[in-house]
Chains A and B, each alone.
Chain A
Amino acid sequence: MTTRIGVVVFPGTNCEHDVVRGLRIVAGTDGAAGPAGSAVEVELVWHGADSVDGFDALVLPGGFAHGDYLRPGALARFSPVMGAVTRFASDGGPVIGICNGFQVLTEAGLLPGALQKNSGLRFLCTTVPVEICTSRTPLTATVTPGTVLRLPVNHFEGNYICDAVTLERLRDEDRIVLRYAENPNGSIDDIAGICNVEGNVVGLMPHPERACDALTGATDGVGLLRGLLAAASSGRSARSALATA
């Protein structure tokens, strides 16, 4: 049974191939043999698609969707695919937004709060220590809370903000998924990633897909992508069991 993961590409997205390669490395399907026919298939999904049927998880990668016009992520919610992404999320499917994908999820209303310009007005391109705060999401299911990972960040608008009521809810409902061990951008409560109430929609600024290959200097993202693959795979098994029951 093949697990299928869709990587959503908007005009201006630029991290989709990193995500595809990262997932294939973790799935063990990267290389000359290619992914076809293997247990995990990772495919690009153009933003004009009006369906995400058949996918077991979706990733909204980093970049500059619609050129970041107006605000980062503001226009992506008008892309046809977002209706399908929203339905997929409300059905409990795992949806992960990385960097610009996180911005898209907040602007689309799938996650609360907003990402404003970094304090200090600096574009950040560095590797930072990030603490895993909960294992209740697909991304973090296989990582013990308290674990500190070193993950790349690469953003100008990563300074997470929300009102006091929302912050209280995020804390009470165990929805802060990752915190910076050293806050690089001014995010409230050191937040690097959050999830929705159910835990299946996750947004994060760090790039786990860029920390999956020792050749490029870091492998701390492997556990996160492995968790996503496992959640996608078990979701498919559950749906398949339902269909045959």
Chain B
Amino acid sequence: MRFDVRVEVRLRPGIADPQGATIERALPALGFAGVDGVRVGKSIRFAIEAPDEASARNQATEMSLRLLANPVIEDSDVEITAVSAAGTAPVAGAVR
């Protein structure tokens, strides 16, 4: 089966995010008041062939831990969508 995978990589809580802080300071200048907690991360997308969703998820999780994210400073979430089963909703799961 073929799955679409989206891995979201973001800084762990407590890790300073100067990019997020800068954006947060800029938004009020455009009239967006009341915004806080801005965090900047990365979204990595790819497709993978795997026998089932669990296998696809396990592989994406392993990729996140070993390459896509640096566990010292980053967390990641894996979101998987089966391409062959039309209409399947994304199933999200957190990786710590």
Binds B, one of A17-25, A114-122, A170-178, A196-204: A114-122
Contact B70 A107 (CB under 8 A): yes
Binds A, one of B14-22, B48-56, B80-88: B14-22
How many angstroms between the C-alpha atoms of A38 and B17 in the bound complex?
49
Contacts of B73 in A (CB 8 A): 114, 116, 161
Tell me whether A113 is interfacial, beta carbon within 8 Å: yes
Secondary structure of the A contact surface, majority rule: loop
How many angstroms between the C-alpha atoms of A74 and B66 in the bound complex?
10
Given A114-B73, A116-B73, check contact A70 B18 (CB 8 Å).
no
Contacts of B16 in A (CB 8 A): 116-117, 119, 159, 186
The bracket for how many chain A residues form the interface is 10 to 19
Contact B18 A117 (CB under 8 A): yes
Closest to B68 in A: A70
Tell me whether A163 is interfacial, beta carbon within 8 Å: yes
Contact A161 B70 (CB under 8 A): no
Contact B72 A118 (CB under 8 A): no
How many angstroms between the C-alpha atoms of A15 and B92 in the bound complex?
43
Given A114-B73, A116-B73, A161-B73, check contact A121 B67 (CB 8 Å).
no
Closest to A116 in B: B73
Contacts of A114 in B (CB 8 A): 70, 72-73
Cβ-defined partner of B70 (8 Å) among A71, A117, A159, A163: A71
14 A-B contact pairs sorted by A residue (CB < 8 Å)? A70-B67, A106-B72, A113-B72, A114-B72, A116-B15, A116-B16, A116-B73, A117-B18, A117-B19, A118-B18, A121-B18, A159-B16, A161-B73, A186-B16
Residues of B at the A interface (CB closer than 8 Å) are 11, 15-16, 18-19, 21-22, 67-68, 70, 72-73
Residues of A at the B interface (CB closer than 8 Å) are 70-71, 74, 106-107, 113-114, 116-121, 159, 161-163, 186
